[in-house]
A and B are shown apart, each in its own frame.
Chain A
Amino acid sequence: MEEYVLIMRHENGAAVASPEQMQIWMQQTMDWLGGIAAQGKLLNTGNGLSFDDACVVGHGGVVTNGPFGEIKETIGGYVMVKADSVDEAVEFAKGCPVLQGPGNTMEVRKVAKHEPK
């Protein structure tokens, strides 16, 4: 069993959603996480990352504030899961409601283990 981080990427982090839309997303996200947890494979719900006050620090200490003019994608959050294979982790990622937004993506990354020498 390996550990994977599923990273949610939004194409447009500045998009404003209505409270009703937020409510629906919330429910879908909870159903998605609940489904992984019901398999005993949810490690960590991670943290949602707020888009408010987000900024990017570049080479030479140049600070760019949102709304991310030059950046194509922003990270919206991540969760950690256990999976037998990367395929299984990918299956988990496919269920994430973030993917309903066109242009949004999920990045699947295996947690590197430092084997004792």
Chain B
Amino acid sequence: MNTESLLPHLFRTEYSRITAVLSKHFGIESLEMVEDITSDTFLAALETWPHKGIPENPKAWLYAVAKNKVKNVLEKNKTREKYAINILNFPELSTEIDLSEENIEDSQIRMIFAICNPVLPVEAQIGLALRILCGFGIEEIATAFLSNKETISKRLYRAKEKLKKEKIKIELPPESQIIGRLDNVLITLYLLFNEGYYSESQENTLNEDLCHEAMTLTLCLLKNPSTNLPEVNALFALMCFHASRFKARISQNGEFILYEDQDISLWNQDLINKGMYHLHKSSVGQKASKYHLEASLAYWMTVKSDEKWNTVLQLYNQLLILEYSPIAALNRTFAFSKVYGNEKAIEEAQKIKLENSPYYFSLLAELYLPLQPKIALESLEISLKLCKSNTEKALISQKINKLKGQL
């Protein structure tokens, strides 16, 4: 690998690892200093490696530089003042930073809990997770959120100030509190994954990276026995099943390919198998969380069979009973049509009344198509009016033209 492709990859993974270790060492109040030290470390790599070549062990090189930078900061009065570091808190100057694999993993899991903290608004949690846990740049985060750098910078700044103010400790919650705190961690990781998977942004590589990072963090929880719980396995399984379709859902021109039109041979069988393994591991205990249900549904998406629809309908019933969401209501109605036929499904669809949703009218069009194509066409036209995404508009227009030709 040359410097150009090695650096972004190393940056992502090592940025978050070094930041986690230093944050655990210095506490949340020194986050600014920690981020500066880590950024400087990578800047140093960027300045030297292209000329002197990539060191034999790039990770060790980065760790050594980071340790030196810590020493420099702590030894100079000026920099200590800048970061308001109280030397008394670090009696031996604590320059011995432990960058062992063991301590890195421990630090990362603590950081996950510190950042996925309900004192922060959800958007701020996801933003900070992207920056600190995943090593994404501000610009990348702005692209992912369809926002601009200033907004994101402000949001991250406020989030960090809040963590400082609340004196959030970088620690793993005690065993008795893990389950309660884990809820919020899982929601953030779930949203982080969805941010990449359902993103409107055209940056497909970035979106895939986002999903990949959400999976890495979830895996981090699975590695620790105290957080290797059924729900976490279910969430990971869900991510594996969805991620298995990455290659199949984008065409060579970067266009979105609908599920029905995907080339199944492009589905990643390794990820499907991994998903099945973790789904199996999640099936202990009494509780069927929303992640269990969604993972089971995602599993059925990897199976093309007409026999599955009743099971799928039952899973959507359970999911909706647990927690209402418009998208689940639409999908349930689709599954209902596969079990009970379109006529009965239209009755169900009319009851859910999601009249602001383009997907609702697309679904109605689908259901009316074999029975009353004229109403199907009208529904598609409403859907087109309501639709905001250009990719989806193009797909709806295609359908409209095709249907007009047939009528």
Contacts and interface: CB of A to CB of B under 8 A. Distances in A.
Given A38-B348, A39-B329, A39-B351, A27 B324 contact: no
Interface string A34-73: 1101111010010000000000000000000000000000
A38 B316 CA distance: 9
Contacts of B332: 34, 38
A33 B316 CA distance: 11
Given A37-B320, A38-B329, A39-B329, A27 B314 contact: yes
Interface residues of A, number: 12
B351 A35 contact: yes
Nearest to A91: B351
B353 interface: yes
A33 B318 CA distance: 9
Interface of A is mostly: helix
A23 to B, nearest CB: 11
B320 A30 contact: no
Contacts of B310: 27
A38 B333 contact: yes
Contacts of A40: 324, 329
Contacts of A39: 329, 351-353
A42 B328 CA distance: 14
Q: Is the interface of B mostly helix, strand, loop or mixed?
A: helix
A30 B318 contact: yes
A31 interface: yes
A42 B348 contact: no
A30 B329 contact: no
B358 to A, nearest CB: 18
Contacts of B70: none
Contacts of B352: 38-39
B324 A37 contact: yes
B384 interface: no
Contacts of A33: 317, 321
The residue among A33, A38, A40 with the most chain B CB atoms within 10 A of its own CB is A38
Contacts of B324: 37-38, 40, 42
Interface string A4-37: 0000000000000000000000010011011101
Interface of A: 27, 30-31, 33-35, 37-40, 42, 45
13 contacts: A30-B314, A31-B336, A33-B321, A34-B316, A34-B318, A34-B320, A38-B328, A38-B329, A38-B348, A38-B351, A38-B352, A39-B329, A42-B320
Given A31-B317, A38-B351, 4 more contacts: A30-B314, A34-B313, A38-B332, A39-B329
